[in-house]
Amino acid sequence: MNEERSSTASLTLQPIGVVRSPYRHTSEVPKGPGTRHAAEGSLQIRADLEAGLADIEGFSHLIVIWVFDRSEGFALTGTPPADNRPHGVFATRSPRRPNPIGLTVVELLGREGSVLRVRGVDMLDGTPILDIKPYLSSVPPERLRRGWLEEAEARNACSSADAAGNDAFR
């Protein structure tokens, strides 16, 4: 079932910058089981916020929080490319969510002033960035459960190598 996003409750956020990506249309972004994102792009941070990037070069990976600015409405359940069964939106990475917020872990390749060169973008060109944080993984692999995705991969007989790093709805 498709739902419209509520306009009664709102929260105003100012983008801190935009993503520069090779992808202009959602159909160009690789999807499906085993997908790995190796595309390079950049995070162009507003010049007035450049001081906030001090010391970021020491981190190999960053969490980018951004807006699905080209998705419409939301669906509480959907069938992701990685499976043939429906799942709840909060158990997936669907772009069509009540709050259209995306999160991508990218590898930091370098910095020139307020521009961060990165690898691993799955965002469209011009996507607004809400925040950036250093990525610090703290979940030991043996404690990590991957839910329906693991089951879907077993059903599809994905190799464990393909499965590693695969994300739902990619």
Ligand X SMILES: C[S@@+](CC[C@H](N)C(=O)[O-])C[C@H]1O[C@@H](n2cnc3c(N)ncnc32)[C@H](O)[C@@H]1O
Nearer to ligand X, 88 or 113 (CB): 88
Burial 28-51 (b: 16+ CB within 10 A, else e): ebeeebbbebebebbbbbeeeeee
Minimum separation from the CB atom of position 9 to ligand X (A): 21
133 binds ligand X (CB under 6 A): no
Nearer to ligand X, 71 or 156 (CB): 71
Binding characters for ligand X, 22-41, by CB under 6 A (x = yes): ----x--x-x----------
What residue ranges in the chain does DSSP mark as E strands?
2-3, 17-20, 40-45, 61-67, 74-75, 77-78, 87-88, 101-112, 115-119, 128-134
Yes or no: say if 119 and 39 are a contact pair by the CB < 8 Å rule: yes
Which parts of 70-129 interact with ligand X (CB under 6 A)?
A: 70-71, 93, 95, 102-104, 122-124, 127
Nearer to ligand X, 66 or 158 (CB): 66
Write out the residues near ligand X by the rule CB under 6 A: 26, 29, 31, 68-71, 93, 95, 102-104, 122-124, 127, 169-170
